[in-house]
Chains A and B, each alone.
Chain A
Amino acid sequence: MILDSKIPAGPLEEKWTKHKFNSKLVNPANKRKYDVIVVGTGLAGASAAASLAELGYNVKAFCFQDSPRRAHSIAAQGGINAAKNYQNDGDSIFRLFYDTIKGGDYRSREANVYRLAQVSVNIIDQCVAQGVPFAREYGGLLANRSFGGAQVSRTFYARGQTGQQLLLGAYSALSRQVANGKVKLFPRTEMMDLVMVDGHARGIVTRNLITGAVETHAAHAVLLCTGGYGNVFFLSTNAMGSNVTAAWRAHKKGALFANPCFTQIHPTCIPVSGDHQSKLTLMSESLRNDGRVWVPKTVETAEKLRKKQIKPADIKEDDRDYFLERKYPSFGNLVPRDVASRNAKYVCDEGRGVNETGEAVFLDFRDAIARDSEDTIRARYGNLFDMYQQITGENPYKTPMMIYPAVHYTMGGLWVDYNLMTNIPGLYALGEANFSDHGANRLGASALMQGLADGYFVVPYTIGDYLAQTPPKKVDESHPAFAEAVDKVKGGINQLLNIKGSKTVDHFHKRLGKIMWNECGMARTAEGLKEAKKAIKALKKEFWSDVKVLGENEELNQSLEKANRVADFIELGELMIDDALNRNESCGGHFREEYQTPEGEALRDDENYAYVAAWKFMGEDQEEELVKEPLEFENVKLTQRSYK
């Protein structure tokens, strides 16, 4: 199988413009003859659904939440990048492109990333026109701030709630099209399978989460905007409902899954406090601008801390190890996310963790408060300190914060070409659901940018090229492919309900999470991954023979919803492990301990692994087949990242 990325020829700067001109158009009168399904209503889904409806297509939009406004894009805090150069500090489209390629450790496509940087400027215009209340300067113009991995200030923000404001903007555009009758909304409806007719995506099977009704929906194209799969780790900063089911079931219908092992672990999260924990909370990494990360120098002192025999303040300066400042004198506490996370893990593995579970390091503001005053620190981080205190019950002005890394974002996803179409004609993947533009590591404030770029400015152009070549005849829902898919979905549901085993769905999900976190998390080894693969295979078998799902299909049944999702997470987990085992190098968020520089940094192997690893489903319990898409770099020079 050969993957055609459909990257247009010509100079980087002209590719997108030329491609738009060369794409076929659907004339305005014909657009109303085409139906498009959009699954997911986060930034990518809501913006795509609204934009396509504005163009005249008939859109059906689906989300599992009770309202499209609740999609997890809403929780993004920091901001959105755009190469506006409003600050006159040397930003440009090329610089945003370069920073993103480098930040991704050279594992993304030049052409896609360049286009992302190009349309980033349009996104800000669009959002402002919708009434998104971005932060402003006293002169009335937009404010910017700087963010990790960049030397310019290009991040637009709305206090610590940028994702919320952008999503509500896209939701308002979507709502307007619902009122216009161009979008039909299906809340509390979950996609259960993809329907293919003659090799093309032509519809989906859904489950109504209130009534349990399994239904079909036909269309000329299907867009999956279903987010990432961080919940495979059970504990993550994702919402409880975030899941991989739509993408995974499309994968099992033939869509390739690319770079599944590329996950981002965020260094500044509130540590796990016990087994009851259901979710992890992120705190903006801006805290590392003033906080100093440390643990005690010795295991003995750490043990006393854990037993609460001493307090952090009792530990003398000489007995503290500011390990990031020690190892990376020039970047100090501001090293990139992957480096900061990994080093926190190392010191905790050594037994120097500082909370009861042994998995936490200090983020200390003592020196910043002494230097700048408590009021200054409060003005900078007040809302984050309050949030920390609300969750932990501790006052971070008086005692150091405790932090630990947590799963935050998944760079991998469904493989797409330059048009954002998967290898299944008519099936598109947008936003975090595709493998896209972030390579092996995503820069801060780039997820919002990508979701909106895909939905507002890329897919409205590229879908026309496909639909113009598709006859506008209504898709026939009486085609046997629909009935077959429905039978399969119903069969799967019945199977789950009839196991009547002894262990809850969460029990399995937690065990899966532990395997993934320990062996396929911040640091990975071939040996550990092989063990994990065995463990997951066994877990899958046990799940399908001993899971306990109460109730019936024909009602609101949250256990059944979870069971469907966890079943898919287990299978995805195994593929992530295959991918991590295959990639015999370290890059970005993927750190294989066997492949590191003498200083302990990620060691890439550009000669053998400068490719996208796309995986093809070969049948239940079969090994998946690896299909490689080579990455070619014509405009940037590949270098070793160093933060010493």
Chain B
Amino acid sequence: MKLTLKIWRQKNASDKGGFATYPVDGISTDMSFLEMLDVLNEELTEKGEDPVHFDHDCREGICGMCSLYINGNPHGPLQTTTCQLHMRSFSDGETITIEPWRAKAFPVVKDLVVNRSAFDRIIQAGGYVSVNTGGVPDANEIPIPKTIADEAFDAATCIGCGACVAACKNASAMLFTSAKISQLALLPQGKVERKTRAEKMIAQMDSEGFGACTNTGACAAECPKGISLTNIARMNREYFSAVVSSDNM
């Protein structure tokens, strides 16, 4: 395959940045999208040009490190991570536009690399059960209905990639934040702290500069792990019941 790549290049956070165009040839349809970029980078390096920087690590769709806005879609045309996207999803001669995540809370570091530490800070605000190591009950002393455990699992599969934020016109982090709040609100272990958790995590989310929910569902439509919008509804319920009830309820 022969392709034309229009790629966002930005030297560092303070650089203005802009698009550069690169032709690539000899791309096999079996290559993953990132392997196609590897080919480009080898060529650029051989020519003495700075390779295109992008985030990636596990390349099996689970670490959440890869990102990329491809032809206007987070992680490209399929509902998967960029590392699991293969070149057979594109056609010979196509022009592909590649950009970093665009969100105020995810500042560009270089080229296609952005800083997603805001997500870590949201989890630090309350995305845990406050138990220390040791001194916990036997695992089977807490029976949990299978349906509840399965629903908590579905919420817990979020990989923290940020596609939800990138997909949202308001760059809202509601889907990410709600997935963790939801997982822990569903499980008996997490119920003890559910009120303070919802309040603190949402406060942190707002302070990071993420926008409000648009209610369009673009986040769930683009989520590579299929995290459901139901989680946002559950988060809203958690939040309202936290603010309108007393601390002892």
Instruction: Report yes or no: A136 in contact with B144, Cβ–Cβ below 8 A.
Output: yes
Per-residue contact bits, chain A 139-168, to B (CB 8 Å; 1 contact, 0 not): 111100000000000000011010111001
Whether A70 is near chain B, meaning CB under 8 Å from some CB there, is yes
**Cβ of A140 and Cβ of B153 under 8 Å apart?**
no
Please encode chain A, from 232 to 275, with 1 for each CB lying within 8 Å of some chain B CB and 0 for all others: 00000101110000000000000000000000000000000110
The verdict on A171 contacting B60 (CB below 8 Å), with A278-B35, A393-B88 known, is no
Complex interface residues of chain B between 1 and 34 (CB less than 8 A to chain A): 11-12, 28-32, 34
List A contacts of B123 (CB < 8 A): 69, 171-172, 175
Given contacts A66-B55, A70-B57, A142-B139, is CB(A550)–CB(B50) below 8 Å? Answer: yes
A131, B46: Cβ atoms closer than 8 Å: no
Could you tell me the distance between the alpha carbons of A122 and B139 in the complex, rounded to whole angstroms?
9
Measured in the bound complex, the distance between the Cα atoms of B86 and A274 in whole Å is 14
A128 touches B143 (CB 8 A): no
| B148-195 interface (Cβ within 8 A of A) | 149-150, 152-153, 156-157, 159-160, 183-184, 187, 189-190
Min CB–CB distance B11 → chain A (angstroms): 8
Bitwise, A113-148 to B at CB < 8 A (1) or not (0) is 000000000101111111101111111111000000
Are B51 and A559 in contact, with the CB atoms below 8 A? yes
| Contact B58 A278, beta carbon cutoff 8 Å | no
Among the 9-residue stretches B108-116, B212-220, B228-236, B240-248, the one with 4 or more Cβ atoms under 8 Å from chain A is B108-116
What CA separation (Å) do A71 and B84 show in the bound complex? 18
Contacts of A158 in B (CB 8 A): 153, 156
Question: A558–B51 contact, CB under 8 A?
Answer: yes
CA distance A158 to B155 in the complex (A): 13
Interface contact A129-B125, CB-CB below 8 Å? no
B49 to chain A, nearest CB (A): 8
How far is B138's CA from A404's CA once the two chains are assembled, in angstroms? Answer: 41
A28-85 residues at the B interface, CB under 8 angstroms: 47, 50-51, 54, 65-72, 74-75, 84
A185 within 8 A of B: yes
B184 / chain A contacts, CB cutoff of 8 Å: 131
Q: How far is the CB of B57 from chain A (nearest CB, A)?
A: 4
Chain A residues within 8 Å of B140, by CB: 84, 86, 141-142
On whether the beta carbons of A390 and B80 are closer than 8 Å, the reply is yes
A210, B115: Cα distance in complex, Å: 10
Report the minimal beta-carbon distance from A442 to chain B, rounded to whole angstroms: 19
* B42 on the A face (CB < 8 A): yes
**Is B119 interfacial (CB 8 A cutoff)?**
yes
Task: Report yes or no: B30 in contact with A165, Cβ–Cβ below 8 A.
Answer: no
Binary flags per residue of B40-73, CB closer than 8 Å to A gives 1, else 0 = 0010011011110101111110111100000000
- Across-interface contacts of B60 in A (CB, < 8 A): 75, 237, 279, 281-282
List, in ascending order, chain A residues with CB within 8 A of B64's CB.
69-70
Complex Cα spacing A348 to B34, Å:
29
Q: A74-B62, A165-B153 are in contact. Are A506 and B42 (CB under 8 A)?
A: yes
Q: With A65-B65, A140-B144, A279-B60 known to touch, is A133 a contact of B129 (CB < 8 Å)?
A: no
Contact partner of A133 (CB less than 8 A), chosen from B48, B86, B134, B156, is: B156
Contact A75 B62 (CB under 8 A): yes
Given contacts A51-B133, A274-B28, whether A240 and B146 have CB atoms under 8 Å apart is: no
Asked if A129 meets B30 with Cβ closer than 8 Å, knowing A134-B149, A172-B123, A176-B124, the reply is no
Are A130 and B35 in contact (CB-based, < 8 A)? no
A551 at the binding interface (Cβ < 8 Å): yes
Check B76 for interface membership: any CB of A closer than 8 A. no
Contacts of B50 in A (CB 8 A): 550-551
Which of A69, A126, A391 makes the CB contact (< 8 A) with B84? A391
Q: Does A476 contact B (CB under 8 A)?
A: no
Of A72, A126, A136, most B-chain CB atoms within 10 Å: A136
A425 within 8 Å of B (CB atoms): no
> With an 8 A cutoff between CB atoms, is A173 at the interface?
yes
CB neighbours of B127 from chain A (8 A):
172, 175
Decide yes or no: A133 and B117 within 8 Å by CB, A175-B127, A279-B60 being known contacts.
Answer: no
Is B138 in contact with A67, judged by CB distance below 8 angstroms?
Answer: no
- Interface residue A187 (Cβ < 8 Å from any Cβ of B): yes
Given A122-B134, A165-B156, A279-B60, do A172 and B113 touch, yes or no (CB 8 Å)? no
Q: Is the CB of B38 within 8 A of A173?
A: no
Is residue A284 within 8 Å, beta carbon to beta carbon, of the partner chain?
no
Q: Are A140 and B62 in contact (CB under 8 A)?
A: no
A-side contacts of B39, CB under 8 Å:
276
* A599: min CB distance to chain B, Å: 36
Question: What is the CA–CA distance of A413 and B60 in the complex, to the nearest angstrom?
Answer: 25
Which one, B31, B46, B136, B146, contacts A125 given CB within 8 A?
B136
Q: Does B249 contact A (CB under 8 A)?
A: no
A140 near B131 with CB under 8 A, answer no
With A50-B133, A504-B45 as contacts: A136 and B34 at CB distance below 8 Å: no
By a CB distance below 8 angstroms, the chain B residues around A54 are 132-133
Judge whether A70 and B149 touch: CB under 8 Å. no
B120 contact set on A, CB distance < 8 A: 67-69, 175, 178, 185, 187
B58 / chain A contacts, CB cutoff of 8 Å: 70, 72, 74-75, 239-240
User: 1/0 contact trace for A553-574 toward B, CB 8 Å?
Assistant: 0011011000000000000000
Most buried by A among B50, B60, B145: B60
By the criterion CB–CB under 8 Å, are B46 and A504 in contact? yes
* A22 sits at the interface (CB 8 A): no
Q: Which residue of A lies closest to B126 (CB)?
A: A179
Judge whether A67 and B134 touch: CB under 8 Å.
no
Residues of the B chain whose Cβ atoms lie less than 8 Å from the Cβ of A504: 42, 45-46
Q: Which of A75, A134, A273 is the one whose CB lies under 8 Å from B63?
A: A75
Using Cβ atoms and an 8 Å threshold, which residues of chain A touch B80? 390
* Nearest-CB residue, chain B, relative to A502: B46
B145, A140: Cβ atoms closer than 8 Å: yes
A14 to B10, CA, bound (A): 60
B residues in contact with A241, CB < 8 Å: 57
CB distance from B128 to the nearest CB of A (A): 4
- Given the known interface contacts A69-B64, A391-B84, the answer about A556 and B133 at a Cβ–Cβ threshold of 8 Å is no
What distance in Å separates the Cβ of A87 from its nearest Cβ neighbour in chain B? 11
Contact (Cβ within 8 A) B132 A391: no
Cβ of A94 under 8 Å from chain B? no
Which residue of the partner chain, among B42, B48, B129, B142, contacts A172 with CB atoms under 8 Å? Answer: B129
7 A-B pairs (CB sep. < 8 Å): A75-B62, A84-B140, A172-B127, A274-B28, A282-B60, A504-B42, A556-B109
- Having A125-B137, A175-B123, one finds 16 other A-B pairs with CB under 8 Å, namely A47-B133, A65-B57, A70-B65, A74-B63, A122-B134, A133-B153, A140-B144, A161-B157, A163-B62, A173-B133, A237-B60, A239-B58, A278-B34, A281-B59, A460-B133, A556-B109
Enumerate the 7 nearest inter-chain pairs by beta-carbon distance, A residue then B residue, closest first: A140-B143, A172-B128, A129-B136, A133-B153, A128-B139, A51-B133, A239-B57
Q: B residues engaging A (CB < 8 A)?
A: 11-12, 28-32, 34-35, 38-39, 42, 45-46, 48-51, 53, 55-60, 62-65, 80, 84, 86, 88, 109-110, 113, 115-117, 119-120, 123-125, 127-134, 136-140, 142-146, 149-150, 152-153, 156-157, 159-160, 183-184, 187, 189-190
Chain A positions within 8 Å of B, measured between CB atoms, are: 47, 50-51, 54, 65-72, 74-75, 84, 86, 122, 124-131, 133-142, 158-159, 161, 163-165, 168, 171-173, 175-176, 178-179, 185, 187, 210, 237, 239-241, 273-274, 276-279, 281-282, 390-393, 456-457, 460, 504, 506-507, 548, 550-551, 555-556, 558-559
